[in-house]
Structure 1
């Protein structure tokens, strides 16, 4: 067993936790980590590192809205060839993390290292786990060990999430090119949304922005309805986990959240998804065209929309009229409201005639690079 704290963070009370972000949204995820009270949040390429122990790993999976997955970094060592990798992998304290009766699989990546064959590296680590711990190896195992060999440094992490964290466990129905919940949450954050103001999405699709906003306002934990890979680890405490899920005050939002779409199927889909998420009481979905959009009664808030764009539906010429109608309606009727528009094309954003600030860094959405265009409160 490796008990050197320098190479085996599992021997310490705290270790590095890597929270994976959608590339381009690292700084927004870092802001979320700060808001959630995680220790030493640092944005890095592909995510955010925080410090903590296993309870923080569980809480990260439960509470992060913008994270894709959570990796617990359990060991790190130098390895210059496969025999050395094999030897040092056997010294990792696998029994502190993995159960001998739960299948495991290993994924490896190599970059700028003398070990360059990722498949061979994964095989060596799998064999080490199998022979030292006795855990079965399976290509379909939910528990995944990730080994990254970068500049001859091998970092061993366990993927504690399992399925991607955008799968909250509520959304059964989706439309074409759905916005992932994780991305929607960070776009809402980048628009300054905290849960205290109404939200309107006039092209709501399957309701992601509206439902996510309502959950934020109600302080509902995003991971409350699903299971995670860490529940199959040796150090999992089921009773502590149940207490964590039940902790924290939930309060009904003081405002409502509104979605509309010209497609009746999208409206029905959104209502079903809101019901499953437990936010139907605070959301409203209606079928109508952009030209019929009016602000709800009450204070101004945020209009956020992910309209069709050229790369998503082919010919973009008809879209200029759609974006123009959106901008015209908002400028005429939504004085005092802020606007966020997600699109891949500056010319489409310009067609709205809305007073956008500079767009955010591009983010990959369904293989298309999109940016968020934001306004201050409209005149």
Structure 2
């Protein structure tokens, strides 16, 4: 596993609806050959590109690499060819693996039986060990479609929204990957202040501060690729060390009526290394006031009733109050609002453009509603 390895296909998984934004981000960090596909983005590169994608991308859910494949028309052929596959090029002897097979339009139609054959090949040729339920392991994905077997490895391990900083969370937390894509969709590039008047555990505020400070999202966590065969720890360390953070000139603001949420936000910002750039305060929306300085972006994910917040009818007053405060006091600021309910968004009275695509979030679909600079 080195820079001289021939280029291979890299798949950057994303929530449906985020593909264009992730493609834009992937190009911005210098990944080659970026193409949008359903469910994510593909590019072609080598292992350093895989490392960079895991380290630097804020919107990807996982990074997968295609390591090869072959045709197989029956289970005996799958067994034989899986035993000849060069597993040792990417997996270490004795590796703990979890095989996940899918079959579609193929003569091999039983995914469970296919999984058993591939696991047996790994155990008997590489000395690998099949992971037990709930055990950490390297994920090998086998897709059998039109009799073509394709193997991919999950290079991320834990999902990429788990940055390693947000330990304390409130109800129905927004994933960091979602927050990053919504910020990007609002045109945020780190050069302006961001304020969240219902900050919960601080996700929008912390994500914005990290972007402004040039902090890589994957800086504090481990990745599955570190356990692959031939992993170059020195080159990986040099890549991480080559990123230079900076001190933002602007600040980032979060408020919430729940004192517990403010404590969580402060603790999470401290772990993320951005506490010195962030201000959190406990007060209701009615006490909201713009900070001194140039206007920026109000980013908010209010309760929508579908998951938290209780009776939907009671939320109309909350949204109307939020909209009234923003229209009255936040001239020059832009607004991004995430909700599952178009009626609640419209209750703010804010001049929203047409909403963005539906994005799955914990069993429901949410959309981003955004304005230009308020008058």
So what's the TM-score if we normalise by structure 2?
Answer: 0.96
Distance 1:274 1:79 in 2: 51
TM-fit CA distance, 1:141: 4.2
Which secondary structure state, in structure 2, belongs to the residue aligned with residue 90 of structure 1?
A: helix
User: Paired residue for 1:197?
Assistant: 192
**How many equivalent pairs are there?**
370
Residues 1:162 and 2:157 aligned together: yes
User: Paired residue for 1:25?
Assistant: 18
User: Do 1:161 and 1:229's aligned partners in 2 also have CA atoms closer than 8 Å?
Assistant: yes
User: Paired residue for 1:318?
Assistant: 314
Cα distance change on mapping 1:180 and 1:15 into 2, 3 Å: same
Residues 1:130 and 2:123 aligned together: yes
TM-fit CA distance, 1:92: 2.1
Distance 2:293 2:243 in 1: 28
TM-fit CA distance, 1:101: 2.6
Alpha-carbon displacement from aligned partner over 1:276-335 (angstroms, at most 9, x marks no partner): 000001001000111111111111111010000021134200000000011111111111
One of 210, 228, 234 as aligned partner of 2:229: 234
TM-fit CA distance, 1:254: 1.4
Alpha-carbon displacement from aligned partner over 1:221-250 (angstroms, at most 9, x marks no partner): 101111111111102111111111111221
User: Paired residue for 2:349?
Assistant: 353
User: Do 1:100 and 1:136's aligned partners in 2 also have CA atoms closer than 8 Å?
Assistant: no
TM-fit CA distance, 1:176: 0.2
Which secondary structure state, in structure 2, belongs to the residue aligned with residue 310 of structure 1?
A: coil
User: Paired residue for 1:7?
Assistant: none
Query: Which runs of structure 2 are paired with 1:1-379 in the superposition (5 Å)?
Result: 12-139=5-132, 140-313=135-308, 314-379=310-375
User: Do 1:219 and 1:250's aligned partners in 2 also have CA atoms closer than 8 Å?
Assistant: yes
Give the gaps of 5 or more residues in structure 1.
1-9
Alpha-carbon displacement from aligned partner over 1:189-211 (angstroms, at most 9, x marks no partner): 00100000000000000000000
CA RMSD of aligned residues (A): 1.4
Distance 1:81 1:12 in 2: 31
Distance 2:216 2:164 in 1: 12
Distance 2:149 2:192 in 1: 46
TM-fit CA distance, 1:82: 1.5
So what's the TM-score if we normalise by structure 1?
Answer: 0.95
Alpha-carbon displacement from aligned partner over 1:17-58 (angstroms, at most 9, x marks no partner): 111101221111111101111001111111111111111111
Alpha-carbon displacement from aligned partner over 1:260-284 (angstroms, at most 9, x marks no partner): 0000000010000000000001001
Distance 1:149 1:184 in 2: 34
TM-fit CA distance, 1:86: 1.7
Which secondary structure state, in structure 1, belongs to the residue aligned with residue 172 of structure 2?
A: coil
TM-fit CA distance, 1:11: 9.7
Alpha-carbon displacement from aligned partner over 1:50-73 (angstroms, at most 9, x marks no partner): 111111111111111111111111
Which secondary structure state, in structure 2, belongs to the residue aligned with residue 43 of structure 1?
A: strand
User: Do 2:95 and 2:127's aligned partners in 1 also have CA atoms closer than 8 Å?
Assistant: no
User: Do 2:94 and 2:126's aligned partners in 1 also have CA atoms closer than 8 Å?
Assistant: no
